[in-house]
Chain A
Amino acid sequence: MPSGYALGIRLAPWMAIALLSLPVASGLVGVIAPAFGWLPVLGGDTLTLTHWQALLEKPGLGRMVQLSYVTGLASAGLSLGIVVLFLGAFMHTRLFSTMRRLLSPLLAVPHAAAAIGLAFLLSPSGLLSRALSPWMTGWQHPPDILFPGDPHGLALITGLVLKEVPFLLLMSLAALPQCHASERLRVARALGYGPLSAFLKAVLPGLYPLLRLPVYAVIAFASSTVDVALILGPTTPPPLSVAVLRWLNDPDLSMRFMASAGALLQLGVTLAALATWWLIECLLRRLTHTWLESGRRNSGDAVFGGIALSAISLSLLLIVGSLIGLVLWSLAAYWPFPQALPQPLTLRNWTGAAGSLGDPLTQAAMIGIIATLLSLVLVVGALEAETLHERPTRPWAQFILYLPLLVPPVAFLFGLVLMQVQTGVPPGTAVVILGHAVFVLPYVFLSLAESYRRLDPRWTHLARCLGASPAQVFWRVRLPMLSVPLLTAAAVGFAVSIGQYLPTLLLGAGRVSTITTEAVSLASGGDRRLTAVYALLQLALPALGFALALGLPRLVFRRRSGLLISS
């Protein structure tokens, strides 16, 4: 079908750009007008600043803003620090490849499930405190400590760091070959620099520019997260994003004006956090200039190596402990406090939940599959167009790709909801799928682009010489040769979709419930056993996706070993 191919190649890049930018842009426009009083549906027909005044008079607003701002910067700084130290101290060692293999699957763990697991591990009556009580702590009752939900947001920051470290690590792994990290490192080591100093002085200056957008995405996410903050964050006052969500869900519809102002304020806070980070970047570039050329070959390599190892091991332990906690609670019947293990174990929580689980599971899977397929088609089309025209991606295209990851979802999604109401588009599954695709597409692109661009152009030349048209080359050579990375990208996309909380909640107007929305709302209730069941199932869906993506090719291509090696 050559004409379909040609049409697809022409349209896909523009459709991808539209899918990424239109919702964000129109969502922001949709939130600006109500913030200044303009929302005719709710009787707002004069421009006014009263809603901003109402917002500014909200008790605790300063604290909310501060929480969001600090959380964003602190979790990004910590995650990046851990990743950089770890790469610097252990690149090219066996420990590195082990850690990498252990950390990669963690990317698939949805934020909500990780947060729920962490809460179950670290809360006063959590697994850790049970394991240490009473023999070490002397506690016969759970201590009266507010954690998670501590007023400084430490639990929230921990939860975010736990999820962002694997993300930044995987993004660095993709970027390392691009900046010729191995060569740079070897040159510096040969000149007598210690491993960490060599990395910091010779590799990092080339690596960081490639990591900048992912780091900005981390800051934006952390400063505006809703689901993680609902589970781990403080409540009085909560981070700004959570407060905005509360206002816009308020039964008093006139609160929506103030919620719009709040959503804009959230955008401002995220931008302020990004600007702060950028200033720090500039400052560090200035300050490190002389240090880079100072010729000092060793800057406490052993100490920092130790710190890196402890930090990364701690992250790994926390995640594993969280998972164990989830499994134990999902099997617990009676489990009084200082006991380390529940006794007896029971499947009653699972069988009891089975009846109400089917719908949220199939909803989540269906939304995830369709959003992923849609994104995959657009991404492959865009990459194929780029390859066919032998033209590199322009910088602005890269920026658009990151747009949905840089603008706080709570800001533009709420604008979309208001527009939805104005234009009479019924909320429901179709809108939710499109909303998910906005967030899925960037990750599918990031996951696939390297493999797609690196495919040797000689394969295409060869096939063309053998008489295949560009369309035939695409269908018969490039797609089958890329089947392994395509499946991986699909698994990544599916995992991202399963993790989405806010788009489902807002665009579905509460009528679309997935395993994720159920898990998050259960987490704020008191039933740990049921919450554990839901969190584990939320985690099982993406895990299943990755298992298929890794297992299928090994089965299907067991007699085509060249495909498995090359990718």
Chain B
Amino acid sequence: MHSLTLEDVHITLEGASLLSVDTSIAPGEVLTVMGPSGVGKSTLLAYIAGFLSPAFHARGRVCLGERELTRLPAEARRVGLLFQDPLLFPHLNVGGNLAFGMTAEGSRRKRRQRVEAALEEIGLNGFANRDPATLSGGQRSRVALMRVLLSKPCAMLLDEPFSKLDAALRDEMRQLVFQRVRQENLPTLMVTHDAADAEAAGGHVIELGS
């Protein structure tokens, strides 16, 4: 795994400076970006993932090791993204959601086995054919995490991933997410406005807009 480097990233909105970041995240490290809403935390994630809205203007480079992400289309960047909502595709079953991000290689049976194994890892054996709408909140979050991991990302972006979970579930998901990104050795950038998230992540913290 490689480090995720943000070199002199500078984002402006209609000429007004929004944020500037210059940092590097080592594999397995979680960097937390904090700040009140409206300072452009999510804009930074959109820029790294490749969806910056045309209203914004960005300067600088984002690299994964030697690979310059900012030159690539979003689908080729291999950056995993986790939102505050699980966003399971409603037109696919749970297994289909997991398989969506997997590479096309391998026989149908092999892919099916990988899905089954992934479900077992998150304690959802036999859920492959379920309608995602019938899952509980915690189950959906776990499926969403597994879906990202199965797409074999080289870096992870977390967009307030725990803010919509209730207190008990939040701790559980924090542990699961941080454990998995360390296990997979992924450089991870998390934006949040919850200090407890930053504490649980245990990495560096950048404050924006203060």
Contacts and interface: CB of A to CB of B under 8 A. Distances in A.
B151 A465 contact: yes
A457 B49 CA distance: 13
A371 B1 CA distance: 54
Nearest to A558: B131
Interface string A436-474: 000000000000000000001111111111111110100
A485 to B, nearest CB: 13
Given A461-B49, A466-B101, A467-B78, A481 B87 contact: no
A463 B100 contact: yes
Contact of A461 (B74, B89, B93): B74
Nearest to A467: B75
B47 to A, nearest CB: 12
Contact of A466 (B51, B91, B100): B100
The residue among B79, B81, B134 with the most chain A CB atoms within 10 A of its own CB is B81
A559 B91 CA distance: 9
A481 B148 contact: no
B35 interface: no
Given A468-B75, A560-B90, A476 B80 contact: no
Contacts of B153: 465
Nearest to A389: B54
Interface string B84-105: 0101111111000000110100
A459 B133 contact: no
Main secondary structure of the interface of A (DSSP, over half): helix
B43 to A, nearest CB: 13
Contacts of B127: none
B154 to A, nearest CB: 11
Interface of A: 389-391, 456-470, 472, 476-477, 480-481, 483, 557, 559-563, 565-566
Contact of B90 (A465, A468, A470, A562): A562
Contacts of B85: 458
A470 to B, nearest CB: 8
B50 interface: yes
Contacts of A456: 87
Interface of B: 46, 49-51, 53-54, 73-75, 77-81, 83, 85, 87-93, 100-101, 103, 131-134, 147-148, 151, 153
6 contacts: A462-B81, A465-B75, A465-B151, A467-B78, A470-B75, A561-B90
B53 A390 contact: yes
A462 B147 CA distance: 10
A466 B147 contact: yes
A563 B88 CA distance: 11
Contacts of A466: 100-101, 147-148, 151
Contacts of A462: 81, 83, 87
B76 to A, nearest CB: 8
A565 B100 CA distance: 22
A476 to B, nearest CB: 7
Enumerate the 7 nearest inter-chain pairs by beta-carbon distance, A residue then B residue, closest first: A562-B90, A466-B101, A562-B133, A464-B74, A480-B91, A561-B133, A465-B81
A362 B85 CA distance: 48
B148 to A, nearest CB: 7
A520 B88 CA distance: 51
A481 B90 contact: yes
Contacts of A465: 49, 74-75, 77, 79-81, 148, 151, 153
A562 B132 contact: yes
Given A465-B49, A481-B90, A559 B79 contact: no
B160 to A, nearest CB: 12
A354 B148 CA distance: 59
